[in-house]
Amino acid sequence: MDKLVIRGGRRISGSVSASGSKNSSLPIIASTLLSGNGTFILHHIPDLQDIKTFTQLLHHLGAETSFSGNTLNVTTGNVTSILAPYELVKKMRASIYVLGPLLARFGHARVSLPGGCAFGPRPIDLHLMAMEKLGARITIETGFIDATAPGGKLHGAHIDFPISSVGATGNALMAASLAEGTTTISNAAAEPEIVTLCHFLTAMGATIRGTGTTELEIEGSQSLNAAEFQNAFDRIEAGTLLAAAAITGGEITVNDVEPEQLKSVLKKFVHAGCTVETTENSVTLKSSGKLIPTDITAKPYPAFPTDMQAQWIALMTQAEGTSHITDKIYHERFNHIPELNRLGANIEIRKNQAVVHGPRTLSGTKVMSTDLRASASLVLAGLVAKGTTEVLRVYHLDRGYEKIEVKLKSLGADISRESYKEF
């Protein structure tokens, strides 16, 4: 097992390019199952454990893939299986994304109930509701979702989500692209990852109206084709790297980004006392190290993203005063707080709110990763902590950050990856 060893106190400075988005890569890769025509060429795909897990799932279904230099080639003409087994699905909740494409293409899908990050309930009921609206019959037994489209075809429908869900919107989009007739989705997620998925499905031949809004309309196609496509940048990785400079009093330029997608996060960095400058495809942040306590509330896009909540809590441990971080999406996403407190932070949990009292001098020790973004918060804390911090179980981090220790080292951090034996 690997750990990251961080000797804190180094200022983060320099320039770095953002990797491709994990959260848009996964539904894009799942969408390749909608077509058996040709080979997909997907550029700017990050080299992450989640990508490897998802391609393993595609191999099990019968697809062929090759990955080189952040370009993933996928051929799905030989896909015959509609079974996504527990052994693969348990590793990653996003495996549920194969439900819509398999059901739409083959009229039947059998997908294990998912696993994934260890924080709070993350139900799939909205995914199932969307498939049922499109005409699927669904049963759940022996740990599997068994979905069947009567007559082998899904049919256009009106899907009105009671709450905004990125995953369920993505699954509905993919399934509706091959359904007969017109599908409308109300209260659809409008996150950049959904916009990217819409662009990809359009490149495959789908007809989608309302991209970027909460009201989507999809004209079902009889068939879709392989396409070549450039994936979007990872806005959460970009935000994490900006936070690394902010917490260490550094200066960083993150290239190959779309600043508009980071607007809510950049606004909070400015409130926290940082200077932010943008160009068409870059963000530069300067921090004096004197941080102002800044409250955030994590809500659906375009508000502050829940995937940056843990990193913001780490940042606020160095702010001069008290800040409040509220998560309206995942109320129990606070597993990182006990570990931050072990480093010397003073953070209280009040239901779905963290109250951070700063500034605190953090001291390096061993801390345990519990989920992907929690891992990132511990790395940020380690960068500013006195002494040595060991972040254990970084397989969580490897699910969503491409060579994060390499990027941070290039920016001045004293950080290394080491193997260790756990118990």
Region of residue 323 (phi > 0: left; psi between -120 and 50: alpha; otherwise: beta): beta
Phi, psi of 274 (to 5 degrees): -90, 155
Provide the token pair at 276.
Answer: 């932010």
Q: How far apart are CA 153 and CA 148, in angstroms?
A: 9
- Place 119 in a pLDDT band, splitting at 50, 70 and 90: very low
Structural tokens at position 32: 């390749």
- Per the prediction, the chain carries an average pLDDT of 95
Q: Can you tell me which residue has the tokens 């973004």?
A: 373
Structural fold of domain 2-19+233-419? UDP-n-acetylglucosamine1-carboxyvinyl-transferase; Chain (3.65.10)
The reported pLDDT for the residue numbered 332 is 74
Work out the burial of residue 205: count CB atoms within 10 Å of its CB; fewer than 13 is exposed, 13-18 middle, 19 or more buried: middle
Averaged pLDDT for residues 10-28: 98
Residue 360 pLDDT grade (very low, low, confident, very high; cuts 50, 70, 90): very high
Q: Concatenate the DSSP letters of all residues of 65-123 into one string.
A: EEEETTEEEEE-TT----EE-HHHHTT-GGGGGGHHHHHHHHSEEEEEPP---SSS---
- Does the active-site annotation cover 274? no
Check the annotation: does 414 bind a ligand.
no
pLDDT of 120 higher than 70:
no
Is domain 22-230 classified as CATH 3.55.50.30? Answer: no
Residue 122, annotated as binding a ligand: yes
pLDDT of 359 > 70? The answer is yes
Q: Is the pLDDT of residue 116 over 50?
A: no
* 205 contacts: CB under 8 Å, gap ≥ 6: 221, 223, 224, 225
Residue 295 has pLDDT above 80, yes or no: yes
93 marked ligand binding residue: yes
Nearest to 215 by CA among 257, 258, 183: 183
pLDDT in tens, 334-353: 989 999 999 999 999 998 89
Q: Which one of the listed residues 16, 28, 94, 117 is annotated catalytic?
A: 117
Mean pLDDT of 221-227: 97
What are the residue ranges of CATH 3.65.10.10 in the chain? 2-19+233-419, 22-230
Instruction: Return all residues near 193 (Cβ < 8 A) that are at least 6 apart.
Output: 21, 23, 24, 27, 166, 170, 232
Does 256 appear as a known binding residue?
Answer: no
Q: Put residue 182 in one of left, alpha, beta given phi > 0 → left and psi -120 to 50 → alpha.
A: beta
What pTM was computed for the model?
0.95
CB 395: neighbour CB atoms within 10 A? 13
C-alpha span between 99 and 110 (Å, rounded): 8
For the segment 144-159, the average pLDDT, to the nearest whole number, is 97
